[in-house]
Amino acid sequence: MNCKKCKNKCIKNGFQINAKQRFYCKYCKISLQCTYAYKAYNLSTNYQVYCLLINSCGINDISRILNIARNTVKRRIFLLSKHIRIPLNNTYNESYEIDEMHVKVLGMGKHCYISYAINRKTKAVINFCIGGKSAVQLAKVVNPVLLLHPKRIYTEKLASYKRIIPEHIHKTGKSLTNHIERYHLTLRTHLKCLSRKTICYSKSIKSLEAILRLYFFGHTLNLRG
């Protein structure tokens, strides 16, 4: 057989414990098999995990559908999220909306929020953070927006925003954040761990952050290749 990485000819190298023929590549210096019984080895697994995750499937759902272990699904989600780099934005002098969405995270009590900013025109997410609603926490979202020299920033009447957003570009009001409020509903529809009035929730901040990174910026990954 040919190596799956370098496509060079492999030589036979004994047998696996399951009695399958093992091959060895002299160029890559790795051992491999012709076929694998465990479905997580399929090249399309990462893309399938990503597609199911952002279409209202939880970790247990993905495990059942793809017939792979639950812990494998979790590891794949963490691995994919680590490879994501938040894309650079060059949308200067435009309007943005910033808001918080209440979420349930195990061990975080009743007051945990996802705060994020979107471009009012393109609906692209600029950045996000998970935690409380203090000025220090919200600055993680506001500061990347300020670097884009915004024309306007629309928020609700939260006192923390007044401390970190310049007054001349800051506009407040419930009716001014309609776009991001609608985005909240999309998030709750597409991500199972955010669904309200269900038993679904996130078990840790780390797992919720990995899922959100995949949802917001997963399109930057080349998962089909």
Residue spans of the domains in the chain: they are: 1-37, 95-204
Whole-number Å distance between alpha carbons of 119 and 37: 46
- 222 phi and psi angles, rounded to 5 deg: -95, 75
The structure tokens 């009035």 sit at 197
Instruction: Report percent pLDDT > 90 for the chain.
Output: 65
pLDDT, tens only, 20-65: 889 999 888 888 888 777 777 777 899 999 999 999 999 999 999 9
| 142 CA to centre of own chain | 20
Whole-model pTM?
A: 0.83
Query: pLDDT (tens digit, 9 = 90+) per residue, 91-114?
Result: 899 999 999 999 999 877 778 999
pLDDT given at position 59: 93
Domain 95-204 carries which CATH code?
3.30.420.10
Angle between helices 59-66 and 70-82 (to 10 degrees): 110
pLDDT digits (tens, 9 = 90+) for 67-84: 999 999 999 999 999 999
CATH class given for the domain over 1-37: mainly beta
Q: Give the pLDDT score at 4.
A: 80
State the pLDDT confidence band at 134, using cuts at 50, 70 and 90: very high
Confidence class for position 225, pLDDT limits 50, 70, 90: low
Is 142 a residue whose pLDDT tops 90? yes
